[in-house]
Amino acid sequence: MAMDRETLETHLKDAFPDAEITLTDLAGDNDHWQAEIVSEQFSGVPRVKQHQMVYAALKGKMGGDLHALALKTRTPG
């Protein structure tokens, strides 16, 4: 089962309510996404930890409902 845009966006907005989130369906199959997340929560946090924060927000769906996620995380500005 794939993860649609609305479900993915809901998980991310719940975890990063302040964030500017841009989702791109890379293959048109709701299974290979790129997420660009701009959030103050990433301030002073190493990139690896930022990505771990995003994976945690997906509540174990990564690798199951969500096959592939290309991440771009950064702080505003």
How far, in Å, CA of 18 to CA of 32, rounded? 24
- Report pLDDT digits (tens) over 7-65: 999 999 999 999 999 999 998 888 889 999 999 999 999 999 999 999 999 987 877 77
- Report pTM: 0.90
- Spatial distance between the Cα atoms of 77 and 70, rounded to a whole number of angstroms: 21
Q: How many CA atoms lie within 13 A of 46 on its CB side?
A: 2
Structural domains of the chain ordered from first start = 5-74 (3.30.300.90)
How many other β-carbons are positioned within 10 Å of the β-carbon of residue 66?
Answer: 21
